[in-house]
Amino acid sequence: MLTRRIIPCLDVRDGRVVKGVRFQGLRDVGDPVEQASRYEEQGADELVILDVSATPEGRATAADTVAAVRELLSIPLTVGGGVRQVADAERLLAAGADKVGVNTAAVERPGILTELADRTGAQCVVLALDAARREGDEGWEVVTRSGAHRTGLDAIAWARRAEQAGAGEILLTSWDRDGTGHGYDLELLAAISSAIRVPIIASGGASGVDHMREAFDAGADAVLAASIFHDGVMTVQQVKAMLAERGVEVRR
């Protein structure tokens, strides 16, 4: 039986792991290679590296970080952040990524998803979809540029379109919940899950195992978490043991 995945996420800037709330107030929380190895050892099912560098120099460092992590990591590695064109994705794949996440560039030009899928196969293409609840309105809209830009684009319609365009998986982040510890946005998750067939990774808001179980019940195939692991609140192993107790199928 296909198990539910637990995916630690490393936000990397200039070769170091950082973490903030809603992408603001970044603080240094460690060395990426060390953390990646530790998470694999603990039973992480995959690893995501998000390059949050703001400069071209920082972006160049990201490829080095990916290569260094890859030499030691024997689980799948998804890398996102700053992918604007096919060549950016190819650079990350050449450094050792297995999948590449695309966010803002896909919203601005959905054709990039098709170009990437044609070039690498849809299983290499992860759409990072950041969604926020509409102010005083029903539903969710897509936000880009680290939340600075509200696009007005309906999140559900965008997920459908991205799947058709070639996204093999969707990393769904609730902008309202990211870094808050209040749990995933379950309504958003259920709405997207019923609209598409490709797997969904839920992200943004988990502070405990019950939040993760709720996300799986709402239709997530995998959950992404950062703070909960970086802050040493729990190990991946502990999380999986507790999920198993709650009836969730996990790899142990």
Partner 1 sequence: MAPPDDPRPRVSIVATGVANTASVAAGFRRCGAEPVFIDDPASAQSADYLVLPGVGSFAAGMACLRERDLVGVIRDRVDEGRPTLAVCLGLQLLCESSEESPGVEGLAVVPARIERFPADVRAPQFGWNSVEPGPASRYVRAGYAYYANSYRLPAAPEGWAQATTVHASPFAAAIERGRVLACQFHPELSGRWGLALVKRWLQNGEEAPSC
Q: Which residues of 166-200 are buried (b: 16+ CB within 10 A; e: fewer)?
A: bbbbbbbbbbbbbbeeebbbbebbebbbebbebbb
C-alpha 97/C-alpha 136 separation (Å) is 40
Query: Are 108 and 121 a contacting pair, CB within 8 Å?
Result: no
Report the residue number, 126 or 186, with the smaller CB distance to partner 1.
126
The encoded tokens of residue 24 equal: 């603001």
Q: Does 97 bind partner 1 (CB under 8 A)?
A: yes
Rounded Cα distance between 169 and 201, Å, is 8
Q: Considering only residues 57, 71, 137, 138, which one is a binding residue for partner 1 as defined by CB under 8 A?
A: 71
Residue recorded with tokens 């299983």: 123
Minimum distance between the CB of residue 182 and partner 1, rounded to whole angstroms?
26
Distance of closest approach, residue 73 Cβ to partner 1, in angstroms: 8
Burial of 76 (0-12, 13-18, 19+ CB in 10 A): middle
Catalytic option among 45, 51, 130, 178: 130
The number of residues making up the chain comes to 252
* 51 part of the active site: no
Chain positions 135 to 164 lying near partner 1, rule: CB under 8 A, are none
Pick the catalytic residue from 11, 45, 98, 221: 11
Q: Is 190 in the site for partner 1 (CB under 8 A)?
A: no
Interface pick for partner 1 out of 12, 18, 49, 93 (rule CB under 8 A):
93
Asked whether position 179 contacts partner 1 by CB under 8 A, the answer is no
Q: Which of 98, 178, 185, 214 binds partner 1 (CB under 8 A)?
A: 98
Interacting residue with partner 1 among 20, 30, 199, 208 (CB under 8 A) = 199
Q: Determine the Cα–Cα distance for residues 123 and 103; give it in Å rounded to an integer.
A: 16
Confirm whether 217 is a catalytic residue.
no
Using CB under 8 A, list all residues that contact partner 1: 1-5, 40, 45, 67, 70-72, 74-77, 93-99, 119-124, 168-169, 197-199, 221-222, 251
Instruction: Show which residues are catalytic.
Output: 11, 130
